[in-house]
Structure formats: C-alpha cells, structure tokens
Structure 1
Amino acid sequence: MNPDFGTIDRQAREFIAAGRFAEAEALVRPYLASGSGPLPLWKLLVAAIRPQGQIAETRVIQEMLVATVPGDLTERFHLSETLLLLGEFERGWREYHHRYSMAHTHAIGRRVQRPRWDGRPIPGRTLLIHDEQGFGDTFQFMRMVPWAKARSGARVVLEVNEETLSLAQRTAGFDHIVARGNLPPAFDMHCEMMSLPMVMGLKPADLPGQIPYLSADPQRLDKWQRRLAGLPRPLVALVWAGRPTHVNDANRSMTLDQLAPLGHAGVTFLSIQKGPAADEAVSPPAGMSLVSLSDEIEDFEDTAAILSIADLLISVDSSPVHLAGGLGRPAWVMLPMVPDWRWMLDRSDTPWYPSVRLFRQRQRADWSDIVAAMALELTRFKGR
C-alpha cells in the first residue's frame, strides 16, 4: 500500500506549527530511511530537526535539496542561514543574497534601476548604500559603511530608516545621508547594507572592526544622567521580549516573571522594554528592584544614552543588543537553543561585538538554566 503523502504532509505541518518537532520527525523519517523520497518530505524533515539543534544533518539535507533543485531559491536562502550559523561566511553570504527572491519576500525587495556594486574600486562615482530589514540589522552592519567607502573610493550616499537616522549621522564613511522614503541624490551603483559582506568578502577574522562605531547624543546623555542620578548601582538595563511581529519572536522572547531569580542579585534594573511586554514592569517579580523607563523612551537616542550610562544590558536577541554592541557597552544576551544565524553556535562570545557575552539554552524553550547562570554571574558582577 502506497503511503498517503498528502496526509503525512498535513500532519507533519500541524506538528511543526504546534512546536511538536520530535513528533513531526518521527512521522516523516521512516519514509526517508532508504535515503530517497519526495523532496517535500525532506523539507519537512529539515523543518522538524533544525529547531531541535540537529544542525549538521540539516546542512547535509539542505545541500542535497539545493543540488537537486538549484532554482529553488527559498531552499538556497535556508541553506545560507545554516551556513552562516556554522560560521561559513563565504558561501553563506553568497546564498543569503536570495533573501528577496522568495515568494513571500519578493514584494518587499528594493527595486533599484542601477547596477549593484560588486566590491571593485569605482573612484569618481557615487555609491548608494541602503539599509534593510530590522533596526538591529542596521546597527550591526553600519560598521561596514566606512569599509565600503575605503574599498570603492566612491562618493557614498547612505540611506537609513528614519528611526536610526540621527544615530547614523554620527557615524563615519558617508558623504551624504538621507532618510528612507526621501529621494536620494543621483547615484551610479547601489548596495544593500546586508549585501556588503558578500561583495566585500567579509570573513570572521575581519570582525569586529573599530569599536565603538556608534555614539550617544551628548544632550540625551545629560538628560538621562540627571534622570538616573541617585539610583543604586550597578544599573542593569533589561529587555525580555522582542518585537511580537518578528517571525521568530516566540522562540526568542520570554516573560519578566521568568527572570525572577535575577532579582536577588541586589542590583537596580532599568526596564527599557518596549511594546506590549513593557506592561509587565508594573508588577515586577518579588525582590526585584525595577525602575521602568519604557514610557520615557521616545526613540533609539534615548536607548543609546541609557545604555551608555548603565553598567550592563541583559536582553533577549533584540535591537538593543546590537545598539549596545555598536556602542561598545557590556551586554549579556539570552539565546534560544538554535539562535539566529549571526550568533553562530557553541561559543559564549561573538566576533561581532567584543563587549557582548552569550548565554545559550541547553534545552529548547527552557530558559531556566540561562537565568540561573546569569543570576550567579550577576552576583559576581556586582562585587567587582
């Protein structure tokens, strides 16, 4: 009797959507035991085993899928994230270029009627570098704008989103800056900010570059120094949830109550949490000294100033981490068992930011080990 692959596909997708990855794996794997089978089942197996941390096998299957159907750009993008997670930058960046070629992302890709810069010198010409995706991505890759200017020899026009414009204005490497949505000056070539690693051949050894490359506004610093004066130190900024609309938010976010063990370390926490989760700061865990600044933070300039004054940031994987790293400020990051590609695997540090320390889940969806380890380290941190 031939298996009903339609039913298997539906059941496996239901398991995966519910986070029941081991059950999805157990359902699909027997039909692939011979080493062959329908490609959709192989894709389902990847979707089931990658969240469980089976990265080596994930990579093997993804390589097979890409070799079998090179025109499947979605699979090439998925492979890119696995390669970058493994620290294989050269091919990883090349495949990452397909991020706007998928059916669900094609509409948001930037259409530019000029050729993409390929990394060669173009003296006398104008290069538009434009940001993309999230705020954290902009903070992370802004460091490469001066490198691109030096490599290209071009006049550089930098285009960033309005929310990061004022911070970007204090960085280096551009001749003109414009907020996204406004017409930039005429340019000859362009490059997405997150394509700079591909065209410039970025390697882990090239990182981190000059740190800090971001800075806080002096007037905001003065404002927040007055606001925070008198609070017992150390001051620890706190973010426990990311943007709810992020595709991976359920995997990376937690509740404030889950951080209760940190409250016994005897430090003053500063909530810089934004979004719906900020309301949790109204009722912090027992014993936690928490000052909520969320409603007072108007923009990233306020966040940058607070991070420049605070002794430490503790955060889930969110944009303040990249802001702290770019500022050269200390940050501890709580990562899910299978993190975003930029944090790679099996290390407590990151080549992107020397001041950032990584704490990783041992079991999927279980933050308890991380919080316990942080509570112990925080007690030591206070004693310095």
Structure 2
Amino acid sequence: MKRSIAELLAHGQALIAADLPEAVGTLLHPYLQGGTGPIPLWKLLALACRRQGKFEAVRKIQEMIVETLPGDLPARYDLADTLLTLGDFARGWEEYRFRYHLPHTTALARHIQAAPRWDGRPISGQTLLIHDEQGYGDTFQFIRLLRAAQKNSEAKILVEINHESLSLIRRAYPEFLVQPRGTLPPHFDAHCELMSLPHALGLQLSDLPLEMPYLQADPRRIEHWQERLQDLPRPWVALTWAGRPTHPNDGNRSMRLEQFASLAMVAASFLAIQKGPAAYQPAPTGMNLCRLSDEIRDFEDTAAILQIADLLISVDSSPVHLAGALGRPAWVLLPFESEWRWMTEREDTPWYPTHRLFRQSRRGDWQGVLERVAVDWVASEYSPA
C-alpha cells in the first residue's frame, strides 16, 4: 500500500536528520519514477541531493518546480542558491532577488516606498542610496561593488552601513557619503540593497575579483598590534574556529577549538581572534595560542591583526571576508555542504585571489580537513625550512 505524502515527508525528513540522505532517493523512487509526482516530494528529493553534493541533479529538480509553480518564491530562492553555487551568475542573481520572500526572512526586508529600486540603468544627476543587509561578511564581500555602481548609475552615491563596519568603509570610499544604519538619510531618488548590486550590474563570474584589495586597516591600529605582538615568534597565524551562533547553518560550519589538535605542534604563534561564547573554549594541549578576543574592540582591531598576521586559518565567518578585502591570505575551512559563494570542488575562489579552500570530503569530517591543513603547512612558505 502506498503511503501518504505526509508520511513520506516525515520519513524522508527523519532520514535527512539522521544524516542518511542517500536513503531518501530509494524511499521516493516509486512515487517519482515517472517524472511526475507531488511537488513536496520533489522538494524533499532536491534537499537530499543537495546534502550529497549532487548540484546538477538539484538544479534540474528545482528548475522543474519553478517552471511548474512560478509563484513559489521560496522555491525560486532555492534555485538561486543552486545556480550561484554552480557559477551561473546570470540566472542566479535574477532569482536571488526573492531572498526576502522566505518565512524566516520576510521581516528582514527593508521596504522603501519613497523611491524605486535601481535597475542598473544610468540615473545621471540623481542620488542612489545603497544599503547593506544580512551579515558582516556579506558587507565585506559586496562593498567592492560601490564604484561599479557609481560608474554605471552616473549618480551621487549615498551609502548606509552597519555601525561595526562604518569606519572601514568610510576610509576605503572617501568619495561617497557613508552613514550609519538608522540615520535619517538625505533625499535620494533610487535605492539598492548591497547584495542586489550584482543583479543590477549584471555581474559575471569572469568580472571577479574587481579591484583588490579594496579595504585598508587603520595605520594607528596596525602600530598598536605590532607592538602588542612583537614578542611572539613568527609566523603569526590568526585563528577563528566558529561563526555567529545565530546563523541558521552555524552547526554545520563551526568547529570547536579542541578539534585543532593536529595543528597543536605546528611551529607558529596562533592569534585567537574568535569572538563570542566560543572564544573561551579550551585549546588543544601544546598549542601556542595567544587569546586576543578580550582586547579586540571592533573590526578595526581585527583588520589590523589580519594585516600584520602571516595567515588566517578560519571557518566560514566574517574574518575570512575581511581578510580577502584586505588582500591578506587565508586558509578557509569549509563543510561538505558550504554556502553558494564558495561554489563546488574548487580549492580557490574568484572572490578572493589570496585564499585557499579546504573542504570536507564527506559530511562532518573536520578531522580530515585539518589533517590536510597540517600536511600542506609543512610544504608551505609559513613552515620553517
């Protein structure tokens, strides 16, 4: 007897929660083998395929869903995520505009009725408000598009940015009026979210990385941290092992400091720039760790440390993007199912030429990632000859 859709969904979701996505295909095959079937089951199959890293299969399913139900906006966002992961920027940015139509993001959308959203065409002589959104890493990644927006729009650029990034952005883009979020802006004629700029500009993969570096650390902070760290032996390796706890994917992308045991005997001074509750986790025995979290006041301090450090080793978090924007090297530790911006299989990233990517070869295998890091360290320029 065939089971109900509700039963199949509950069983399939339980399999995914148990880290058995391969079994979902077997479960659903009798119900979808003819290429038809209930859309909720197709969505479940797409999720299971994504968990396995089968992005081409995911794309085919999602394209079918969007073609069948073009008004299903969460499905269109899911398609955007897959397209961007696969490097299809032209279609990906088009669908990415639906990111604020999800149940958990609707409240985050900024509704500006006084002016239209900029569509990429020239608006010579007018004022364009560009406002940031989402996380700090997103700000550091996409702020590079400000000058391209000014060139294409021929407008006066007004930037609204989070308080934590304000001084960095003002120093990097002195030609624009940069105001903190929450400040009443002067009159503007059009607006655009920072992460809608790629769509408006028609950003292609081949356009990246644009100008590099595009942020600079404060010379006074650099001087302070050089003096603070001068007695530590080189190389200096900045270290971040956990992302923001409230991030929906944090359990997948974050680690525990004790998991870095394979690096404990590396001849380096590890500069712990981790912030938040994870900053106080116990370190592996033998690791030469200098905890700096209580001394780091803001991103200006983080930027200065990254500017003088020899390398950053970090999970996917905002310091990775800040280091990239500064043109500083980073080894990025990625889960098997990483965010779209890191694409698939690559060990490099077009966003940041100074970065290397170390990916899990199977779900949850951080030990394998760190073992590869330790092996590569020996052959790297950072290891003593």
What TM-score results when the alignment is normalised by the length of structure 2?
A: 0.96
Aligned to 2:60: 60
Aligned to 1:336: 335
CA distance in 2, matches of 1:260, 1:314: 14
Q: Secondary structure at the match of 1:191?
A: strand
CA distance in 2, matches of 1:309, 1:205: 30
The structural deviation recorded for 1:120 is 1.2
Aligned to 2:133: 132
Aligned to 2:375: 376
Aligned to 2:363: 364
1:212-268, Cα deviation, whole Å (9 max, x unpaired): 100111121111111111100000000111111111111111111211111222111
Task: Give the alignment of 1:169-180 within 5 angstroms.
Answer: 169-172=170-173, 174-180=175-181
Q: Secondary structure at the match of 2:192?
A: strand
* Matched AA of 1:298: R
Alpha-carbon contact 1:262-1:378 (below 8 Å) kept = no
Q: Secondary structure at the match of 1:242?
A: coil
Aligned to 1:202: 203
The structural deviation recorded for 1:98 is 0.4
Pairing 1:141–2:174 present: no
CA distance in 1, matches of 2:322, 2:212: 12
Alpha-carbon contact 1:237-1:272 (below 8 Å) kept = yes
Aligned to 2:85: 85
Q: Secondary structure at the match of 2:66?
A: helix
* Matched AA of 2:151: A
Aligned to 1:301: 300
Aligned to 1:286: 285
Task: Give the alignment of 1:99-248 within 5 angstroms.
Answer: 99-113=99-113, 114-172=115-173, 174-248=175-249
CA distance in 1, matches of 2:28, 2:2: 14
CA distance in 2, matches of 1:112, 1:365: 41
CA distance in 2, matches of 1:335, 1:174: 36
CA distance in 1, matches of 2:211, 2:303: 18
Alpha-carbon contact 1:221-1:306 (below 8 Å) kept = yes
The structural deviation recorded for 1:18 is 4.2
* Matched AA of 2:287: M
CA distance in 1, matches of 2:295, 2:24: 45
Give the fraction of aligned pairs with identical amino acids, expressed as a percent: 56
CA distance in 2, matches of 1:19, 1:172: 46
* Matched AA of 1:166: S
Please, which moves more after superposition, 54-63 or 321-330?
A: 54-63
1:27-62, Cα deviation, whole Å (9 max, x unpaired): 333321222211101111111220111111111100
CA distance in 2, matches of 1:174, 1:53: 43
**Aligned-CA RMSD value:** 1.3
CA distance in 1, matches of 2:373, 2:2: 52
Q: Secondary structure at the match of 1:143?
A: helix
Please, which moves more after superposition, 145-154 or 5-14?
A: 5-14
Aligned to 1:249: 250
Q: Secondary structure at the match of 2:265?
A: helix
Q: Secondary structure at the match of 1:190?
A: strand
CA distance in 2, matches of 1:11, 1:279: 39
* Matched AA of 1:199: A
* Matched AA of 2:132: D
Alpha-carbon contact 1:21-1:52 (below 8 Å) kept = yes
The structural deviation recorded for 1:176 is 0.9
The structural deviation recorded for 1:174 is 4.8
The structural deviation recorded for 1:321 is 0.2
The structural deviation recorded for 1:17 is 3.6
Aligned to 1:352: 351
Q: Secondary structure at the match of 2:261?
A: helix
Alpha-carbon contact 1:268-1:291 (below 8 Å) kept = yes
CA distance in 1, matches of 2:370, 2:74: 35
CA distance in 2, matches of 1:87, 1:270: 34
Aligned to 1:98: 98
The structural deviation recorded for 1:173 is 7.1
1:118-171, Cα deviation, whole Å (9 max, x unpaired): 111111100000000000000000000011111111110000011111111112
Task: Give the alignment of 1:245-284 within 5 angstroms.
Answer: 245-280=246-281, 283-284=282-283
